[in-house]
């Protein structure tokens, strides 16, 4: 009897955390619940370079320009954030949310971790870009990237500028070591000023400037993650718990099947210590990519200490590009497009698209 009760309780918990779903992308509907003519809402599985890449396509009008979105992590799907914090990008573009090799929809337990390299990620992005151009009859696409994705995006643009109309960077990675030092100093100073002795002690015991070993332990620790979100300088300004605001909602997201939701976290663990993740952390945009050949637009949250706002601004000012724009989001941390979506979409419509279509 006890075993039966335990099984029933576990089943209930599983259904609550992983509600059944076919993982279908909801279509765009008219007021009478008919599908909007010319709209698109689908998952695509694209075979390339020894694996299958999963992506989600959304747009209210397939004749609109195409925007390829490279998410953060690598691991947590950007499409999930779109579900939680709608941006309405699909009103203006056919949006492709690519889920990286080895993660989420693209997770494959048989995949060798050695294939998760910077060069392979760039190659994947280029192949997907060419697929999108061919499918939707476009010569170029817009490239948008967030956090980790900005590392991949900048390197892709450097190698293949001919494929992209413009680049929209959300929380650009510039020099993650410097960013972590700035964030660490900010948090330690804040906790000292507010008299939080427990946090001061914990941070001082994890002095990231002491050694590379301490730095690496700290960067994936709960101390870093919890502190940044507690102070509103993490994923979003008002997100104070990754478990409550990312983990649980992602496990309930019915755009993914239950197994696809579990694969989000299998993929995140798989990719966390991959070559491409390590490369991103050692990336120095200041010295490695001082110039790009297409227009670039930075969306930066003033409270962002995950990829420090001050470094984004500094890099933008020295970056050479045909045209560029820097936009400060005064109420945002690391996800300005999702935190202030109306402002973000206005910038994209009135500045980015208007400028590039003149």
Question: In 3-state terms, what secondary structure has residue 87?
Answer: coil
| 125-179 pLDDT tens trace | 999 999 999 999 999 999 999 999 999 999 999 999 999 999 999 999 999 999 9
Q: Determine the Cα–Cα distance for residues 229 and 219; give it in Å rounded to an integer.
A: 14
117 or 353, which is more confident: 117
Query: What is the residue whose two structure tokens read 């790009």?
Result: 292
pLDDT of residue 52 exceeding 60? yes
DSSP E strands in the chain: the ranges are: 40-48, 51-59, 66-70, 94-99, 141-146, 164-170, 296-301, 324-329
Helix residue spans in 231-318 (DSSP H): 242, 248-252, 258-272, 275-282, 285-288, 309-318
For residue 16, name the pLDDT band (cuts at 50, 70, 90).
Answer: low
**Amino acid 10: pLDDT:** 35
Edge-to-edge strand ranges of the sheet holding 40-48: 40-48, 51-59, 94-99, 66-70, 141-146, 164-170, 296-301, 324-329
**Amino acid 13: pLDDT:** 44
Fill in the DSSP letter of residue 140: -
353 or 138, which is more confident: 138
| 243-271 pLDDT tens trace | 888 888 888 888 899 998 899 889 888 88
**Amino acid 5: pLDDT:** 38
Q: Determine the Cα–Cα distance for residues 175 and 202; give it in Å rounded to an integer.
A: 25
**Amino acid 156: pLDDT:** 98
351 contact partners, CB below 8 Å, separation of at least 6? 297, 325
How much of the chain is helix, strand and coil, in % rounded to 5? Answer: 50, 15, 35
pLDDT of residue 11 exceeding 60? no
Q: Give the CA angle between residues 91, 95, 99 to the nearest 5°.
A: 145
Q: Which has the closest alpha carbon to 46: 65, 19, 68? A: 68
How does DSSP assign 174-220, residue by residue?
A: SBHHHHHHHHHHHHHHHHHHTT-HHHHHHHHTT-TTS-HHHHHHHHT
Give the residue-averaged pLDDT of 46-71. Answer: 94
**Amino acid 98: pLDDT:** 96
Domains of the chain as residue ranges with CATH: 40-174+256-357 (3.40.50.1820), 178-242 (no CATH)
Give the residue-averaged pLDDT of 105-130. Answer: 93
**Amino acid 21: pLDDT:** 80
256 or 298, which is more confident: 298
81 contact partners, CB below 8 Å, separation of at least 6? 71, 335, 338
pLDDT of residue 180 exceeding 50? yes
Give the residue-averaged pLDDT of 29-42. Answer: 92
Determine contact, residues 108/34, Cβ cutoff 8 Å.
Answer: no
Instruction: For residue 105, give the H/E element and its range.
Output: none
Q: Determine the Cα–Cα distance for residues 35 and 118; give it in Å rounded to an integer.
A: 39
Determine contact, residues 316/286, Cβ cutoff 8 Å.
Answer: no
pLDDT of residue 55 exceeding 90? yes
**Amino acid 250: pLDDT:** 81
pLDDT of residue 3 exceeding 70? no
**Amino acid 357: pLDDT:** 54
66 contact partners, CB below 8 Å, separation of at least 6? 93, 94, 95, 96, 132, 133, 136, 138, 141, 142
| 199-240 pLDDT tens trace | 999 998 988 888 888 888 888 888 998 999 999 999 999 988
For residue 17, name the pLDDT band (cuts at 50, 70, 90).
Answer: low
Give the residue-averaged pLDDT of 285-300. Answer: 97
| 206, burial (CB in 10 Å: exposed 0-12, middle 13-18, buried 19+) | middle
Q: Kindly compute the dihedral angle of the four CA atoms of residues 234, 237, 239, 241, in this order, to the nearest 10 degrees.
A: 40
Beta bridge partners, 56, equal 43, 97
Distance of CA 168 to the CA centre of its chain: 13
């Amino acid at each position: 009897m006890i075993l039966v009760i335990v099984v029933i309780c576990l089943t209930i918990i599983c259904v609550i955390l992983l509600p059944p779903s076919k993982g279908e992308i909801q279509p765009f509907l008219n007021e009478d619940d008919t599908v909007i003519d010319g709209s698109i809402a689908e998952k695509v599985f694209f075979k390339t370079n020894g694996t299958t890449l999963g992506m989600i396509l959304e747009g209210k009008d397939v004749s609109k320009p195409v925007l390829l979105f490279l998410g953060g992590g690598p691991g947590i799907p950007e499409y999930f954030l779109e579900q939680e914090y709608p941006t309405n990008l699909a009103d203006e573009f056919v949006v492709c949310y690519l889920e990286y090799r080895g993660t989420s929809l693209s997770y494959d337990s048989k995949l060798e971790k050695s294939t998760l390299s910077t060069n392979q990620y760039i190659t994947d992005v280029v192949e997907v870009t060419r697929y999108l151009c061919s499918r939707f009859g476009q010569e170029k696409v817009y490239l948008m990237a967030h956090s980790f994705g900005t590392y991949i995006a900048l390197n892709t643009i450097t190698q293949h500028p001919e494929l992209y109309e413009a680049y929209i960077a959300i929380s650009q990675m510039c020099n993650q070591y410097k960013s972590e030092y700035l964030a660490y100093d900010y948090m330690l100073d804040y906790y000292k000023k507010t008299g939080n002795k427990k946090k001061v002690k914990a941070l001082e015991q994890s002095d990231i400037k002491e050694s590379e070993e301490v730095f690496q332990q700290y960067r994936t620790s709960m101390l870093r993650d919890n502190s940044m979100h507690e102070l509103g300088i993490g994923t979003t300004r008002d997100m104070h718990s990754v478990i409550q605001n990312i983990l649980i909602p992602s496990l309930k997201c019915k755009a993914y099947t239950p197994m696809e939701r579990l694969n989000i976290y299998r993929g995140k663990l798989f990719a966390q210590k991959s070559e491409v993740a390590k490369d991103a952390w050692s990336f120095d945009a200041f010295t490695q990519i001082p110039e790009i050949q297409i227009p670039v637009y930075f969306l930066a949250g003033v409270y962002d200490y995950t990829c420090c706002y001050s470094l984004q601004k500094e890099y933008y000012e020295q970056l050479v590009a045909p045209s560029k724009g820097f936009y400060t989001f005064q109420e945002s941390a690391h996800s300005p497009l999702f935190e202030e979506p109306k402002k973000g979409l206005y910038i994209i419509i009135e500045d980015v698209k208007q400028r590039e279509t003149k």
